[in-house]
Amino acid sequence: MKNDLYRPLRIGSLGLDGNLFLAPMSGCTDSAFRSICVGYGAKLTFTGLVSAEALVRRSAASEGLLRRAANEAVYAVQLFGASPEVMGEAAALLAPYRPGLVDINAGCPVPKVTRCGAGAALMRTPEKLARIVEAVAGAARDALGGIPVSVKLRSGWDAGSINFAECSRFSVEAGASLVSLHARTRAQGYSGKSCWRHIAELADALPVPVAGSGDLYSPEDAALMLEETGCAAVMFARGALGNPFIFTATRALLLGRKAETPDAALCVTTALRQLEMFAEDAGEASACRQMRKVFCAYTKGLHGAAPLRARLVQAKTIAEYRSLLESFLA
């Protein structure tokens, strides 16, 4: 394995001291989870999808999505939308939140996003995608102090329209300073295998950094992607859910060091800390309800945890969670 896989990275005017990112995930990358991941070594975190239309309408829901964690020295806001004008206006409205980067979602495969022409649907009209990048880059320059703009892509709409190279070239020419590629098509969703060869082709062709995403579930996966594709950074998505320790372990592997495997106590206390932070933002009842699947992820693989998970999905208060988890550890 090469000895320079973990390294600093510059994205336009933004300098980072590492290349391990937390990918944007709708309903998952709230400020509490991002804070946990930063604590374990994520060097750039992305919000979940923020609707440009909702932001321009001053939707109260957008405020929660944009909330920044106290330990996030820098974070990225991901916007989605289909109108260059609205996307530019929404980007300008991010000034009070002081993001370090604005990310344009051109890869989400979910029908409620693509039906309105946003997300992966933008890859069907590369010229329109370029106009959106240009509008957001203009807002970033004029209203946000010149912060960089990035674009998150898929390999293409489906197997018959693999056009990530064209969309990336249009995006960079329009002002993008980073391209992130989830190397699956929109039609694949999250099934099948991602095609890392597409990431390698992009990393070789573009004058800006490329971040790779897809099938990253272990430190070894990340090392292999960096080495095989030559990408500048890796973005953990589902592989980090319930396992923020993957950032620490990956950094250790890339630097030739040994990382300790998290024990049950660390998994449980980290999950509880995430719940408590999430409750401060979303309220206890909502946080406890939404965190049930998260606790299942944190306890996956722990010896004797199956009965615990069956009871955790019924928990309604932080006190109930704490009692169940303390009994399990005891």
Looking at residue 37, its pLDDT comes to 98
Q: What is the pLDDT of residues 26-69, one digit of tens each?
A: 889 999 999 999 999 999 999 999 999 999 999 888 888 999 99
pLDDT of the residue at 64: 87
Q: What is the mean pLDDT of residues 124-144?
A: 98
Strand partners, 231: none
Confidence of residue 1 (pLDDT cuts 50, 70, 90): confident
Residues in the chain: 330
What pLDDT is attached to residue 147?
98
Q: Check residue 143 and give its pLDDT.
A: 98
Mean pLDDT of the chain: 95
Q: How confident is the model at residue 186 (pLDDT cuts 50, 70, 90)?
A: very high
Q: 89: pLDDT confidence band, cut at 50, 70 and 90?
A: very high
Rounded to an integer, the average pLDDT of 302-307 is 90
- In this predicted structure, the answer to whether residue 190 has a pLDDT above a threshold of 80 is yes
Question: Residue 269: its pLDDT value, please?
Answer: 95
CB 17 within 8 A of CB 8: yes
pLDDT digits (tens, 9 = 90+) for 201-248: 999 999 999 999 999 999 999 999 999 999 999 999 999 999 999 999
Contacts of 207 (CB under 8 A, 6+ apart): 172
Residue ranges of the chain assigned to CATH 3.20.20.70: 9-254
Query: Does residue 174 have a pLDDT over 90?
Result: yes
Question: To the nearest whole percent, how much of the chain has pLDDT over 70?
Answer: 100
* 9-254: CATH superfamily: Aldolase class I (3.20.20.70)
CATH 1.10.1200.80 domain range(s) in the chain: 264-329
Whether residue 303 is predicted with pLDDT greater than 80 in this model: the reply is: yes
Whether residue 76 is predicted with pLDDT greater than 80 in this model: the reply is yes
Hey, is 171 helix, strand or coil?
helix
| Catalytic residue selected from 28, 37, 108, 167 | 108
For 258-286, how does the pLDDT look when each residue is reduced to its tens digit (9 = 90+)? 888 899 999 999 999 999 999 999 999 99
Strand-strand pairing, 20-22 and 44-51: parallel
- Tell me, yes or no, if 108 is annotated catalytic: yes
- Domain covering 264-329 in this structure, CATH number: 1.10.1200.80
SS3 label, residue 303: coil
- Quick one: CA torsion of 12, 14, 17, 21, rounded to 10 degrees? -80
What φ, ψ does residue 174 adopt, rounded to 5°? -85, -10
Would you list the DSSP string of 119-160?
GGGGGG-HHHHHHHHHHHHHHHHHHSSS--EEEEEEEESSTT
Look at 129-138, 204-213, 218-227, 320-329 and tell me which has the smallest mean pLDDT.
320-329
Structure tokens at 179: 């391209």
Instruction: Give Rg (Cα) of the chain.
Output: 19
Locate all alpha helices (DSSP H) within the chain, ordered by sequence.
31-39, 52-56, 60-66, 84-92, 111-114, 126-143, 164-174, 196-205, 219-229, 246-254, 264-282, 284-290, 292-299, 306-312, 318-329
Query: Among candidates 96, 182, 67, 79, which has minimal Cα distance to 136?
Result: 79
Q: Which amino acid is at 301?
A: G
Is the pLDDT at 2 greater than 80? The verdict is no
